[in-house]
A = this chain, B = another copy of it.
Amino acid sequence: MIKKTVADVSAALQGVEDGMTIMLGGFGLCGIPENAISELVRLGVKDLTCISNNAGVDDFGLGLLLHKRQINKMISSYVGENEEFERQMLSGELEVELTPQGTLAEKCRAAQAGFPAFYTPAGYGTEVSMGKETREFNGKMYVLEEAFKADFSLVKAWKGDEAGNLIFKGTARNFNPSMCGAAKITVAEVEELVPAGELDPNEIHIPGIFVSRIFQGKDYEKRIEQRTVRKRN
């Protein structure tokens, strides 16, 4: 068994530098690597390009990095819910590349699985396809999209083991699995870190081969963006 455990978030993020491209899992605030984001804030690394479906809210998630002006460019599918983001974007301080959500996911998966590029129908005929190759297959038009290239991938899982195997929970899975192994170094933080052999090999969502470093996260806030409930009768 190849051991991937590191002592803490600080050891896990060793090597992160100014100007790097970083992938971050999560959908909204669900399944985001909270510990790793806090460490990026602490490290104060700047000029980051962040690949993440969303950009957090003003005081949580990637909003914390935006607040400190650590991000130069965001590659996302949806960036609402964030006033500081809006201000920086409108003032030109922040570059934003909007990518259809399914394309974003597949650009991660392509990087993970060694595909340089793929054809998708999403965005054909829109400004998203401008400057990109388009092509017809079986009477339908497709856009050629290329795999992401990133330095670090920061993901959050529910359970993990020493070998780096990961299990996600509910919709906190989202972009996390496809980002594993999609960057040069993949850092996984987990709510529960167990010895190798405790996870059923049949129930593992992402094998440890896609994970470079794993650590037990702490103090998870798991903030809810839209608390919707119904009354009991």
Let me know if A14 is at the binding interface, CB within 8 A. Answer: no
Contact status B121-A119, CB under 8 Å: no
Q: Of A74-82, A91-99, A136-144, A208-216, which stretch is located at the interface?
A: A136-144
Q: Which residue of B lies closest to A167 (CB)?
A: B202
Contact status B116-A138, CB under 8 Å: yes
Let me know if A203 is at the binding interface, CB within 8 A. Answer: yes
Let me know if A128 is at the binding interface, CB within 8 A. Answer: no
Chain A residues in the interface with B (C-beta under 8 A): 114-121, 137-138, 140, 142, 146, 167-170, 201-203
Contact status B146-A137, CB under 8 Å: yes
Chain B residues, CB < 8 A from A170: 201-202
Q: Which residue of B lies closest to A200 (CB)?
A: B203
Contact status A142-B119, CB under 8 Å: no
Of the A-B pairs whose beta carbons lie under 8 Å apart in the complex, a sample of 22, sorted by A's number, is A114-B120, A114-B121, A115-B118, A115-B119, A115-B120, A116-B119, A116-B137, A116-B138, A116-B140, A116-B142, A117-B118, A117-B119, A117-B137, A118-B118, A118-B119, A137-B146, A167-B202, A168-B202, A169-B202, A170-B201, A170-B202, A203-B203
